[in-house]
Each structure stands twice: as structure tokens, then as C-alpha cells.
Structure 1
Amino acid sequence: MAANLRNPPLHVSMETVVQTAVERGYTAQGEMFSARDMALLAEEVCVCRVELLSGGMGGDNSRTILTHLCEGQPVLIPYDEDLNHEPCQRSGHRAHWAVASGVLLGLAPGTVNKEHTEPDPTLPWLLLPRVSSFPRPSPGLREAYILAKQGKSLRYQLWSLDSLAQSNDQLREMAPLRAGDGTPYVVPQEGVEAGLSGQVVLLHTGALTQ
């Protein structure tokens, strides 16, 4: 999904992604418990520059993530997936990856630079970025929602940045049933928490430059 959001779009089959990950030793069954490995895999199969962000999705990192999305660039985010695909907190027992590709920002009146936006034709209160001109998160930001999709979901969803950040921050362990089922998995030596908690992968779209 992230490869399709690349500029220009790159069509990569699931078989290619999984085969590459297995050959590099990042996964055994399709699992991905290391954000570092996910960054290396994304850099290879999406052929773009990739940045691993750690330290959680709050504070300065939240601004970095929102700005990245406002610029039309995707973010890969590990989180606990609820039955409706939305973020939840299960200590990592339902850890999955989602692709974020957009934002909905709630801004205080009078803080929007109208030079960079235009009203939606059907919802005048909804301001859309003009082509080639992306608004940045401003001091008037009151709330933020992430447009994201998990691989098993049929549609994109809007998740609050706070709920996604909380889910991302509490990824601590593999589900006990999976850990004890006798199936080999690739888990970082330091554990799931060190591999996933508080980390996201930023994809800088466009061809990789040397």
C-alpha cells in the first residue's frame, strides 16, 4: 500500500514483499516485530528514502509526523488493532502495521492560511490543500486525526492521533498464545517493546537519490 503512494507509484506484489523480508531475515511467517527491519524493507521494496522515528508519537514527533503527512508522504505505524481495525491497547497482543496517508486537522478560527487552502465543494467548512501547496500544522491546532488503512480493512479510517499514539506506545509483548504455539517467529533480541514501541517509519516519496 505504501508503494502505491510513492511518487511515481510503484506496484509491488505481496509475494515480493514477503519473499524479500524472509530472505533478509526480517520475518519467518510474515510477522514484523522490528521497526528498524520494517524501515530497511520499505527502503528496498519501495525504492525511496526512509526515516525511522523513535521516542513516541507525541511532542515534536507529532509535528514531524503531521507535517510529513501534510506533504503527501506515507507513514508506517505499528499499533494494536481492534476488531474494527481501529487502535486499541492490548499490550502488543494484537500488533499490526497500518499505512497512514493523510490528516484531518481541527484548527482554531483565524489560524488558517487561506493562500494554501480552498474550501471543499460540498463541505465549505472543510479546507483542502491547494495543489503543490501543503499547509503545515499551525499553533492553532486543536485536534488531529490520521487517515490510515490496515491491510485487512476494506477502507481507510480516521483515527485520532492521541489514540493511535497511545496504542503505538504500549506495544510490549507478543500474544501469549502465539508465543507458545511452537511456530518460529523473528523477534528482536531485546524484545517486542524495543522493536516496536514508540516507533514509526516515514517514507520520503520519489526515487531514491544518492
Structure 2
Amino acid sequence: AINTINQRWDALTSTSKFVLSPDYFKYFHLTPSLQSGPTCGIVALAMISSVCVPSQSSEELLRIAQSLGYTRYGEMFSAYNMLTLIQNTSVIHKFIPKLYDGGLAIRRAEIIKMIMNGALLLIPYDADRDHSPGLFGGHKAHWGVVCGLILDGADCLLVGRQGKSLHPTLWPIDQLDSSNLNLFEIDPQRLSSSKDYVTDNIACSLRGMNIVLTPVNCT
């Protein structure tokens, strides 16, 4: 079933004439943005901001995060700080952010319902070489935003965007959940670098966490 969904998704992203049934498809278009340096969380937030009025660029969001003391180069190792950053941007005029803990599986049905109703999901995970969710103990910690889903029987694929590509991609919800729950420690090589990153214990500040952004008019 997943292969069939992927074929349909490829068709959807290659031609505007292909339409998926709204019974199992939801997609919220966000303007893509590429990251420069360790700004994955900032860029993911900028994509969300692209549908807000006024929108704020990744550069502007970075300055706000720096002024709050949450980052130096764009790194965001705390979901708590990310939530507060959102609350200091124009995003709160369109979305109500709420931080959740414990991963996705325990709230699977609720999350699917919220996304079907237009919610976005800002989530940290371990990025594989193709930037899909992987398992690296947190050494490849990355931020992405879920902006839709495809349902087919028991299969649930989330539509994701992240700052290493201009194109949306599909992530199995269980794969993203496992990756999100695998964030135990920052890569020691990053910690030993000459750059003075704003760090945190990601086992407590990122692992299992996600921020749901519910449209104001849906509350």
C-alpha cells in the first residue's frame, strides 16, 4: 500500500492535474526555504511563517531567537525554547502552538485528526542521509514540519518539509515517531567544535517532543 501511495504522491508533485481523494489526503502548502548552517529549526518555523501576516524570514526569526538567548548560529536544541520563540513571532496570530511530550504513537488518532483539520506539526528527529527520519541517537538531530498526510487503510504517511530540500516528502508516522524518540544526545563532535553553541540535554528538551500548531479559527 505504501508503494502505491508513493506513486500517487510522485504523480501529485509532478502534475497539478492529479488529484487525491480528500477522504485520505490533506496538504497545507508552505513556502519552502533552504537552511544555511545549523538553522533547521529556524527555517522550519520560517516555512510556517510564510502563511502568516506578516510573514517573517528565517533571518528575522534568527535575530529574535538570538535576542532571547536561545541560539547563536541557528541551532535549536530545546523544544521549550522553540515554543517560546513561536510565541514571540507573528505565527501566533494564525496558529495556537502547544507543546506535547511522549512521541506520536500514544496520540496517533488525535494527531491524524488535528492534521486533517489543518494543524501543522513542528517536530525534531534524527535525519538520515536523505533527510528522512533515521536512528542516530540524536547525533543527527534535525527539525521538520509536518504539513499534511495521506491515509490508506492502516498506513499513515505524513507530508513533511525540512530545510535541506525545496520539495515535500513522505514520512511513515511510525518511522518519524521512532526517530523523534531516539534523540538522546547531541553529537559529541559538535560539542567539541570551536563554535560556542547554545546546547541542552536533548534527552529532556527534544526527545519525544513536538509542537502542534492549530489554526486560530479551528479552536
Alignment partner of 1:194 is 2:204: yes
Runs of 4+ with deviation above 6 angstroms:
none
Question: Aligned ranges for residues 14-93 of structure 1 at < 5 Å?
Answer: 14-45=58-89, 46-47=91-92, 48-59=95-106, 61-93=107-139
Gaps of 5+ in 1: 108-141
What are the Cα deviations for residues 146-186 of structure 1, in whole angstroms up to 9, with x where unaligned? 00011121200011000000000010111111110132112
Mapped to 1, the partners of 2:214 and 2:86 lie a distance apart of 11
Higher helix share: 2
Deviation at 1:81, TM superposition (A): 0.9
In structure 1, what residue type is equivalent to 2:152?
Answer: G
Alignment partner of 1:95 is 2:141: yes
Deviation at 1:5, TM superposition (A): 4.0
Question: Aligned ranges for residues 142-157 of structure 1 at < 5 Å?
Answer: 142-157=154-169
Change in CA separation of 1:67 and 1:82 when aligned onto 2, cut-off 3 Å = same
Q: How many residues align?
A: 169
Mapped to 1, the partners of 2:50 and 2:216 lie a distance apart of 11
Residues 5, 73 of structure 1: 8 Å contact kept: no
TM-score between both structures, scaled by the size of structure 1: 0.76
Residues 140, 187 of structure 2: 8 Å contact kept: yes
Greater relative contact order, per chain length (Cα 8 Å cut-off, separation 6+) = 1
Mapped to 2, the partners of 1:62 and 1:184 lie a distance apart of 37
What are the Cα deviations for residues 33-89 of structure 1, in whole angstroms up to 9, with x where unaligned? 111111111222212321001011112x22222112111121101001112111111
**Rg larger in structure:** 1
Mapped to 1, the partners of 2:134 and 2:72 lie a distance apart of 25
Alignment partner of 1:179 is 2:175: no
Change in CA separation of 1:148 and 1:63 when aligned onto 2, cut-off 3 Å = same
Gaps of 5+ in 2: 1-46
TM-score between both structures, scaled by the size of structure 2: 0.73
Residues 118, 214 of structure 2: 8 Å contact kept: no
Q: Provide the residue aligned with 1:205 in structure 2.
A: 215
